Structure 1
Amino acid sequence: MAIQSLPLYSPNLAVLEELHERIYGKTQQQQEAIARYRRYLATFNPYLSEIDSIQFIFNKEGNALAHLVVAIHPEHKDIGIIGFFEAEDKTSAAALLKHACSHLQRKGCRKIRGPIDLSTWHSYRYISGIQKTKSMLDPLHLPWYAGTWANQGFREVAWFVSAVRTDFSYIIPFTKQGHDTALEAGFGIRQFDRKHATRELRILHGISSKIFTDSWNHSPISLSSFYFIYEPYLSFLQEQYLLFLEDSRRNPVGFCFALPEKGNPKRLILKTLGVLSEYRKQGLAAALLHAIHVRAQEDGFAECYYPFILEGNAVTKFPYEGYTMVSSYVAYERFADNNILS
């Protein structure tokens, strides 16, 4: 048995691809996950030049049994990240996870978090509750992975839920007052301009960086890395579902990003919603929600799916009829010296 360390670039991903296919079989979800891995772990991903990262592989008798990637952001050198975690069995999984934690401790990290594929701008979290329906944004992993993290001293520190709405008859009138009040106060809502996609993504990057700066495990990301993440969405993005909220001087103060789900044309995924902190508690999020749901109803969508709701967010407290929780998710953290957080 041996643990091998390799830099991140495409030729080395063959090991991960073979391991991944052995674990999950060659399904559509597995192929989509591997396509994402190829993109995120390729040399042309600009984010890899912004962080310190390396991949570890657990080998036994010439076979790769487990794989993961560790990363450290230069502005958060005390926090180590573990992601792209895959394993065929619990023994190799535990050994590799332990090795990664030791590596990050030697690098000076005080805390270790995961599962996070490079950053929370990318893919992260495990499913902890039973899924009623699947989304293209849901993580793919074996059910026992979470227990392996817990056995290595990790504890749950961030909780998320997803939900689906099939009845728009309550949310649209419920958010109408916030929408109308915002417009009367001089705010405006405009849609994404595909003809100037680069400019629009620059605006989205700037406002997202401000809105989510206090979010769990937030780390800065360059414009080029942000564009790299969002560029694939442009091929199936519908302009009317990426909305910018602007003040009376046409400065962006919030946005809502939704997109149709691949393979499920009747479902609209409301991926991200946010308003600058100084503009919150004014009903502006409701204005964006109203605009998105009106469009969804007019365009014949049967349901809206909300994939990233941090537990404690106001949206989980709204008394929305037709709003059903789908799945729960979790992320983990531990001290690098193996002491469980109290």
Structure 2
Amino acid sequence: MFTTQVARTHPDLPAFPSGPAPEVVLSLLEGNLAVGRVGLWRGPDWQGRRTGLIGSPALLDPSGLPELLHAACAELRQLGAEVALGPLNGSTWFSYRLVTDWGKRPPFLLEPWSSPAELAGWQAAGFAPLLHYHSSAVTPETHAPDGRAAELARKFADVTVRSPTLCEPALSRDLAALHGLSLAAFAGNPLYSPLSLPSFEALYRPLLGRVPLDWVWLAERAGEMVGFFFAYPDPASGALVLKTIAVKPGRAQAGLGRYLSHLFHARAFAAGVPEVIHALMWDGNESAAISARSAPVVRRYALLGRDL
């Protein structure tokens, strides 16, 4: 039995991960206990069609995933959605995607992970890959020299790079500047939706407190933030995970991402970093094009969709 009413949750069912609160929580009941649940949201339009988002499905018995997803799709139709997307935890600022090609290496720190059985469960419910993503890895041996490095270094000679400070009020100023830059840089990404400054701070402030700041780069020009690189070490492999690249849109910044990427890799390898992982890139973005020059793919992911 499925219900959208508040239900007492089985103690072994995990809590929802961080992200916006679901508009609807659909629960699978066994007796008077929820033994499965999924969050539902109305999402941004996709190719002119209204979307519904399915996030954070959890079940005590994983074999029930197709049934839960079918019920979720029926509920999204009631909300007016024409396309169901998932897994997507309310917004692309938070957890989304499934692994579709696991490769040979273990997961890196903070990498979203899912099993072949989870992918099979979504596919059994009629879902198929809609948007494709990948992670790739580059080493000093595979990193290709950039033929435009000297040209770009001259163009961006007035760009300085620094790490954020955790002291206030400087940290709040940096977070506000990062928020504005991120909204502008990511606005063209698929299924983009803006994130408020308080929510952005709640997401990034704890991260900045957890990772070494040497590889968190704020690029500034004439006192304005024009670029942002967020990377952190993976303790298991010693690699640097380059999670986020953002550059202010506009002709004045054309090539800045490429310049910063060259500088980042040069400094990382000079410091003895054995590998840089370019994490979770959408196959269609500029960062993926920069990465493709020298970084073999190590993992593939997808966001899945289904017509309603």
Residue 149 of structure 2 aligns to a residue whose secondary structure is helix
- Tell me the amino acid that sits aligned with residue 326 of structure 1: V
The answer for unaligned runs of 5 or more in structure 1 is 21-33, 42-46
Aligned partners of 1:58 and 1:92 also within 8 Å: no
In 2: Cα distance, 1:137 partner to 1:279 partner: 33
Contact kept, 8 Å, 2:88 with 2:96, in 1: the verdict is yes
- Counterpart in the other structure of 2:232: 259
Shift of 1:317: 4.3
2:18 matched to 1:19? no
2:134 paired with 1:170: no
Asked if the contact 1:168/1:293 (under 8 Å) is kept, the reply is no
Distance 1:170 1:326, change over 3 A: closer
Extract unaligned runs of 5+ from structure 2. none
Shift of 1:127: 0.4
* Distance in 2 (alpha carbons) for counterparts of 1:294 and 1:3: 55
Worse-superposed segment, 215-224 or 97-106: 97-106
| Aligned counterparts, 1:1-342, within 5 A | 2-5=1-4, 15=10, 18-20=12-14, 37=16, 40=18, 47-48=20-21, 53-61=23-31, 64-72=34-42, 78-89=50-61, 92-133=64-105, 134-167=107-140, 170-171=143-144, 176-177=149-150, 179-184=152-157, 186-195=158-167, 196-247=170-221, 249-261=222-234, 263-264=235-236, 266-279=238-251, 282-318=254-290, 320-321=293-294, 323-335=295-307, 338=308
Aligned residues: percent identity? 24
Distance 1:315 1:227, change over 3 A: closer
Cα distance, 1:201 vs. partner?
Answer: 1.1
1:137 partner amino acid: L
Structure 2 length as normaliser, TM-score?
0.85
Per-residue CA deviation, residues 298-326 of structure 1 (Å, 9 max, x unaligned), is 433221111111113344445644x2211
C-alpha contact 2:44 2:50 (8 A) present in aligned 1:
no
The C-alpha deviation readout for 1:122-142, integer Å capped at 9, x for no partner, is: 111000002322112322333
How many angstroms does 1:5 deviate by? 2.9
Identify if the C-alpha distance between structure 1 residues 291 and 168 changes in structure 2 by more than 3 Å, giving closer, same or farther. Answer: farther
- What is the RMSD of the two structures over their aligned residues, measured on CA atoms? 3.0
Q: Structure 1, residues 39-80: CA drift from partner, whole Å, max 9, x if none?
A: x16xxxxx43xxx52322213356654321112358999321
Residue matched to 1:29: none
Displacement of 1:118: 1.9
After superposing on structure 2, the runs of 4+ consecutive aligned residues of structure 1 that deviate more than 6 Å are 74-77
Q: Is the 8 A contact 2:27 2:36 kept in 1?
A: yes
Distance 1:175 1:64, change over 3 A: farther
Q: For 1:107-130, what per-residue CA distance to the aligned partner results, in whole angstroms no more than 9, with x for missing partners?
A: 122222110112110111000002
Q: Flag the 1:305–1:106 CA change in 2: closer, same or farther, 3 A.
A: same
